Amino acid sequence: MAKPDDKPKRTRPTISDQEALQFHQAGRPGKIEIVATKPMATQRDLSLAYSPGVAVPVLAIAEDASRAYDYTAKGNLVAVISNGTAILGLGNLGALASKPVMEGKAVLFKRFADVDSIDIEVDAEDPQKFIDAVRYLGPSFGGINLEDIKAPECFIIEEKLRELMDIPVFHDDQHGTAIIATAGILNAIQLTGRDIKTTRLVCNGAGAAGIACLELIKAMGFAPENVLLCDTKGVVWRGRTEGMNQWKSAHATETSARTLEDAMQGADVFFGLSAKGALSAEMVRAMAPNPIIFAMANPDPEITPEEAHAVRDDVIIATGRSDYPNQVNNVLGFPYIFRGALDVRATTINMEMKIAAALALAKLAQEDVPDEVAAAYQGARPRFGREYIIPVPFDPRLIHTIPPAVAQAAMDTGVARRPIVDMNAYKAQLSARRDPIAGTLQRTIERVRRYPKRVVFAEGEEEQVIRAAVSFVNQGLGTAILVGREDRIFETAAFAGIDIEARDGIEIRNARLSHRNSAYAQYLYDRLQRKGYLFRDCQRMINQDRNHFGAAMVALGDADAMVTGVTRNFSIALSDVRNVIDTRPGHKLIGVSLVVARGRTVIVADTAITEMPTASEIAEIATEAAGVARRLGYEPRVAMLAFSTFGHPPGERSAKVIEAVRILDQRRVDFEYDGEMAADVALNKELMAQYPFCRLSDTANVLVMPAFHSASISTKMLQALGGSTVIGPLLVGLDKAVQIVPLGAKDSDIVNMAALAAFNVGG
Ligand SMILES: NC(=O)C1=CN([C@@H]2O[C@H](COP(=O)(O)OP(=O)(O)OC[C@H]3O[C@@H](n4cnc5c(N)ncnc54)[C@H](OP(=O)(O)O)[C@@H]3O)[C@@H](O)[C@H]2O)C=CC1
Ligand SMILES: CC(=O)C(=O)O
Ligand SMILES: [Mg+2]
């Protein structure tokens, strides 16, 4: 455990095995559920969705198969299918054990490209049995993503299914990996001033990923004689008979090298698609100047960046992991490649489509990154270079860059059943598909990781708070200060199986025993002496109340931020905090909630503080909320909400909102706003178009409610009804960074709030 005065250091984010299991087990086990897209509420709904209404699309599809794309989910549905014979780099662990990975791939499809996806685990190692299980599934899906099937069976399976099925069949470990690795290598070659025709590459791993990578890089210009392939038996040399198959033979080289060590002498590039630790420091030392290492085995690479940098300071290194720079992982490919293929109803994913994806990805890494990506690298905007050869998975440009390239190539090669007519309109539509809040939270977390903070977790004896603190530290966000009695915290942690004693980055502060108490009590007394408090009252508040103690730590600079609220009502926690911390001068204290529903984020205010705001207060709330939008990376479009729209029907609360708009007009604020308007007008483009004079350039992303009750009722309703995620209320306008979670919040909510507090979302 860290000593109280240790400076927080930037650490690589890690996760514990226990966190991984808990993540998967929490709530509904697993990572996926199915949600209906049509109402199922009334007799009429049932008659339409099921018998007799459903018969109508049935007959239409029977008559014309292409109508399935109009009347069913087929056109946006991909099956992720595995038999678990090569799960990541963990080997053959069977179909059932592969399910967490396949559910994971399915949710990545959704998260990154809005492709609906379902995992199917097939308990059949025999290629023919597997083919038979899959070949008849075509009608259900728009595409098939094969995953983690070992070589050489995967080659037979994919080739046969491609032949038998009229939808794209794509083995991700082969082609997804090859596309990303090719994009990365093209850039690394350029950065090191090499010529593709003379670059010498060694690929360790002659399985699904290794063979496909060699095929694609040779198609892009690598000379076959400069490429050496290795497997568990060493170099795949021409004439070798042991452990061979026809796919390895196709890449066998005339060479005297027999072992990986031999092959690595003077090599320019290493591709690792084999297993953890396969590349030694000695081999790295033997490589040519400015060596390029893609250690892509998962979850642990052939060599870690730390190990490679320890022996060579001129190395460019990439891994398959998200916790190092240069992540070469097929997650950058499969969601977008299928998006493009589905959107033109491609019959297949061919070589031209793969090359188009690789080139588009390589080019994207060379362009200036948008503010959204730069924000994650605060202070050091990533630029094309040794530590940034490939875009990051959270790059918002991927969705409107890769699918159009893939779709265009499909159209150019005649495999598109429904070509795209207006490419620009298509790109705009793609941008709207991304889920903005995940990006927002991730950006916030990245930013805090760059500038780690000391955050007080005021209710440090609670199990979920301890878990959140551990996760905060593991994510590299800074130091977590648990307020509580040391023995109680250790006891709770031990009971829950959380190891905190040996963990750097966690501090414990017992309010009763802290040597800072007299300073905190004096500070509080200075503030409260004219409000009827005695010095000993203040001493008691500091000694006995964790919110007062934690807030005093933040107020006096012993910590950067605080999170509380798990065990106490919001208003009580807030009044504790306000005894210690003021509103920021010139600002108004408000609560904002982030509501995410169907890929759209809106900021709602004021969800926490002023019950019946005056017109002037509503105008201030709008200004504070617009500031939050900007801090989170959005350009605010503020709708001043009421039950009426532009004067109709008239009412007392609406009059206040109309007056608030007038006040904003007078103040000449620098953001878009208009109103009063009803919520449906604010959020629906067509309805807004009924008011052509409305000054909002698009639907609103900030909703200012006429009063606290409507804000609180609407956000709580949304949360309880499901289908949307509500984060907050976040406190905005306090002079120091404090956030209050809802009573009984879960560890994941607490850690997100802690990150938002550390980011100082409130001001
Ligand atoms: N970063 C990314 O995006 C991706 C990474 N991968 C990673 O690549 C690796 C291979 O996956 P995949 O091709 O699907 O699996 P396969 O089972 O199809 O192939 C594995 C290959 O690796 C070889 N191999 C295993 N251990 C060693 C070793 N110690 N030294 C040399 N060769 C070895 C095997 O040799 P032999 O033929 O002699 O048995 C085989 O050729 C995994 O770690 C996987 O996580 C895969 C896909 C995507
Ligand atoms: C990333 C991936 O697909 C693998 O490692 O198998
Ligand atoms: Mg895989």
pLDDT digits (tens, 9 = 90+) for 692-717: 999 999 999 999 999 999 999 999 99
pLDDT digits (tens, 9 = 90+) for 599-652: 678 999 999 999 999 999 999 999 999 999 998 888 899 999 999 999 999 999
Tell me which residue has its CA closest to atom 6 in ligand 2.
88
* 692 CB neighbour count, 10 Å cutoff: 6
CA of 165 to the centre of ligand 1 (A): 27
* 654: pLDDT strictly greater than 90: yes
Q: DSSP letter for 175, please.
A: I
CA of 481 to the centre of ligand 3 (A): 39
The stretch 359-374 carries a mean pLDDT of 84
In a domain, 355, yes or no: yes
Domain assignment of residue 10, given as a range:
1-30+435-582+734-763
Domain count, the chain: 3
pLDDT digits (tens, 9 = 90+) for 266-306: 999 999 999 999 999 999 999 999 999 999 999 999 999 99
End-to-end CA distance of the chain: 31
Closest of 705, 751, 694 to residue 727, by C-alpha: 751
Peptide bond into 606 cis (omega under 30): yes
CA of 298 to the centre of ligand 1 (A): 9
Hey, which bits of 377-432 come out as E strands?
Answer: none
CA distances from 98 to 16, 80, 81, 121, 272 (A): 20, 11, 10, 7, 22
Tell me which residue has its CA closest to atom 7 in ligand 1.
297
- Percent helix, percent strand, percent coil in the chain, to nearest 5: 45, 15, 40
Residue 750 has a pLDDT of: 92
Phi and psi at residue 605, to the nearest 5°: -145, 155
CA distances from 619 to 480, 626, 657 (A): 37, 11, 8
Peptide bond into 335 cis (omega under 30): no
Residue-averaged pLDDT of the chain? 93
Q: Please tell me whether residues 248 and 291 are part of one structural domain.
A: yes
Q: Which residues contact 449 (CB under 8 A, 6 or more apart)?
A: 10, 13, 475, 476, 477
Active site (catalytic) residues: 50, 105
Confidence label for 185 from pLDDT (cuts 50, 70 and 90): very high
Q: Measure the CA–CA gap between 171 and 216, rounded to whole angstroms.
A: 14
Q: Please tell me whether residues 346 and 472 are part of one structural domain.
A: no
Q: Measure the CA–CA gap between 657 and 134, rounded to whole angstroms.
A: 59
CATH classification at residue 324: 3.40.50.720
| Token pair recorded at residue 645 | 């729209």
Q: Please tell me whether residues 572 and 594 are part of one structural domain.
A: no
Tell me which residue has its CA closest to atom 3 in ligand 2.
173
pLDDT digits (tens, 9 = 90+) for 28-39: 999 999 988 888
| Three-state SS sequence of 467-509 | HHHHHHHHCCCEEEEEECCHHHHHHHHHHCCCCCCCCCCEEEE
CA of 479 to the centre of ligand 2 (A): 33
Closest of 705, 750, 743 to residue 590, by C-alpha: 705
In a domain, 311, yes or no: yes
In this structure, of 94-98, 100-104, 106-110, 471-475, the range with the lowest mean pLDDT score is 471-475
Q: Measure the CA–CA gap between 154 and 147, rounded to whole angstroms.
A: 9
CATH classification at residue 651: 3.40.50.10750
* 370: pLDDT strictly greater than 90: no
Q: Measure the CA–CA gap between 597 and 725, rounded to whole angstroms.
A: 7
Residue 3 has a pLDDT of: 46
Q: Please tell me whether residues 421 and 498 are part of one structural domain.
A: no
Give how far the C-alpha of residue 323 lies from the chain's centroid of Cα atoms, to the nearest Å: 13
Q: Which helix (H) or strand (E) holds 724?
A: strand 724-732
Q: Which alpha helices (H) appear in 645-746, and where do they start and end?
A: 652-667, 679-683, 685-689, 708-721
Burial class (CB in 10 A: 0-12, 13-18, 19+), 100: middle
Residue 677 has a pLDDT of: 98
CATH classification at residue 494: 3.40.50.10950
Q: Please tell me whether residues 393 and 484 are part of one structural domain.
A: no
The stretch 571-580 carries a mean pLDDT of 96
Confidence label for 577 from pLDDT (cuts 50, 70 and 90): very high
- The residue among 378, 412, 434 that closes a domain is 434
Query: Pick the residue with more confidence: 687 or 500?
Result: 687
* 573: pLDDT strictly greater than 90: yes
User: Contact 249/278 with Cβ under 8 angstroms?
Assistant: no
Q: Please tell me whether residues 701 and 741 are part of one structural domain.
A: no
Residue 379 has a pLDDT of: 52
Closest of 529, 645, 603 to residue 761, by C-alpha: 603
In a domain, 753, yes or no: yes
State whether the beta carbon of 233 lies less than 6 angstroms from ligand 1. Answer: yes
Q: Please tell me whether residues 363 and 504 are part of one structural domain.
A: no
- The residue among 434, 453, 476 that closes a domain is 434
Q: Please tell me whether residues 512 and 574 are part of one structural domain.
A: yes
In a domain, 299, yes or no: yes
| Three-state SS sequence of 34-65 | CCCCCCCCCHHHHHHHCCCCCHHHHHHHHHCH
Residue 438 has a pLDDT of: 59
| Token pair recorded at residue 512 | 């009763």
Q: Is the pTM of this model over 0.80?
A: no
Confidence label for 681 from pLDDT (cuts 50, 70 and 90): very high
In a domain, 510, yes or no: yes
Residue 399 has a pLDDT of: 92
Tell me which residue has its CA closest to atom 2 in ligand 2.
88
Q: Please tell me whether residues 189 and 334 are part of one structural domain.
A: yes
pLDDT digits (tens, 9 = 90+) for 297-356: 999 999 999 999 999 999 999 999 988 999 999 999 999 999 999 999 999 999 999 999
- The residue among 395, 413, 434 that closes a domain is 434
| Token pair recorded at residue 111 | 């998260």
Q: Which residue has the tokens 């690394």?
A: 188
Q: Please tell me whether residues 364 and 416 are part of one structural domain.
A: yes
Ligand 2 atom nearest the C-alpha of 320 is: 1
Q: Please tell me whether residues 341 and 474 are part of one structural domain.
A: no
State whether the beta carbon of 297 lies less than 6 angstroms from ligand 1. Answer: yes
Q: Which helix (H) or strand (E) holds 295?
A: strand 292-295
In a domain, 83, yes or no: no
Q: Which residue has the tokens 């949600």?
A: 35
Candidate of 87, 101, 103, 300 to mutate for ligand 2, largest count of ligand atoms within 8 Å of Cβ: 101
Confidence label for 376 from pLDDT (cuts 50, 70 and 90): low
* 567: pLDDT strictly greater than 60: yes
How open is the CA angle 118-119-120, to the nearest 5 degrees?
120
Q: Please tell me whether residues 725 and 704 are part of one structural domain.
A: yes
Residue 616 has a pLDDT of: 97
The stretch 464-488 carries a mean pLDDT of 93
State whether the beta carbon of 265 lies less than 6 angstroms from ligand 1. Answer: no
Residue 27 has a pLDDT of: 84
Long-range contacts of 88-92 (CB under 8 A, 24+ apart): 88/148, 88/298, 88/299, 89/274, 89/275, 89/276, 89/297, 89/298, 89/299, 89/300, 90/299, 92/125, 92/150
Residue 481 has a pLDDT of: 97
In a domain, 141, yes or no: no
Question: Could you tell me what percent of the chain has a pLDDT over 90?
Answer: 80
Q: Measure the CA–CA gap between 481 and 479, rounded to whole angstroms.
A: 6
In a domain, 245, yes or no: yes
The stretch 440-466 carries a mean pLDDT of 89
